Structure 1
Amino acid sequence: MNPHNARIEHHPVLGTLPPRKTIRFRFDEMIYEAKEGETVAAALLANGVRTLRLQEEKGTPRGFYCNIGHCFECRVTVNGKQGTRACLTLVEDMMEVISGKPFSSPLKKGGNHA
Structure 2
Amino acid sequence: MRRISEHPILKRRSTRTVKFYFEGKELEALEGETVAAALIANGIDVFGETERGRRKGFFCAIGKCSSCLMIVDGEPNVRVCITPVREGMKVQRQFGRSDVSW
Q: TM-score, normalised by structure 1?
A: 0.73
Percent sequence identity over aligned pairs: 39
Structure 1 segments of 4 or more deviating over 2 A? none
Shift of 1:101: 1.6
Specify the SS of the correspondent of 2:88.
coil
Does the CA contact (< 8 Å) of 2:56 and 2:67 recur in 1?
Answer: yes
Amino acid paired to 1:60: R
Unpaired runs of 5+ residues, structure 2, are: 7-11, 98-102
Please give the root-mean-square deviation of Cα atoms over the aligned residues, in Å.
2.0
Unmatched runs of 5 consecutive residues or more in structure 1: 12-16, 104-114
Partner Cα separation in structure 2 for residue 80 and residue 34 of structure 1: 20
For 2:14 and 2:88, the matched residues in 1 are separated by 20
- TM-score of the aligned structures, taking structure 2 as reference length: 0.81
Moved more, 18-27 or 35-44: 18-27
Residue in 2 that maps onto 1:79: 73
Does residue 93 of structure 1 match 2:83?
Answer: no
Aligned residues: 92
2:3 paired residue number: 7
Residues 73 and 8 of structure 1, relative CA distance in 2, 3 Å threshold: closer
